[in-house]
Amino acid sequence: MTTVDSKGKARKKYPDDSMMTPYDKFKSLSNAVNYLKPGISLAALNQLAMRIKDLQAAQPLQQAKRTLFKPIHERRESS
């Protein structure tokens, strides 16, 4: 839902019940199976998704981001 504040700025508000992870949104598509690589099924993806928790999946991503951006942060600190 988009609302316009007194200054004319548009603000989007998303209801809590419509919030989804990218994977949940993908699964909700009516033709999701059409976007899968040959040999991959939604059942196989579900099994993989249930193997690890969201936090466990996010930790390697966060570590990779820290490694990627470390040189940038070091340059800023030394300036």
Taking only the tens place, the pLDDT of each residue in 11-68 is 888 888 778 888 889 999 999 999 999 999 999 999 988 888 878 888 998 999 999 9
Q: What is the pTM of this model?
A: 0.51
How would you classify residue 39: left for phi > 0, otherwise alpha for psi between -120 and 50, otherwise beta?
left
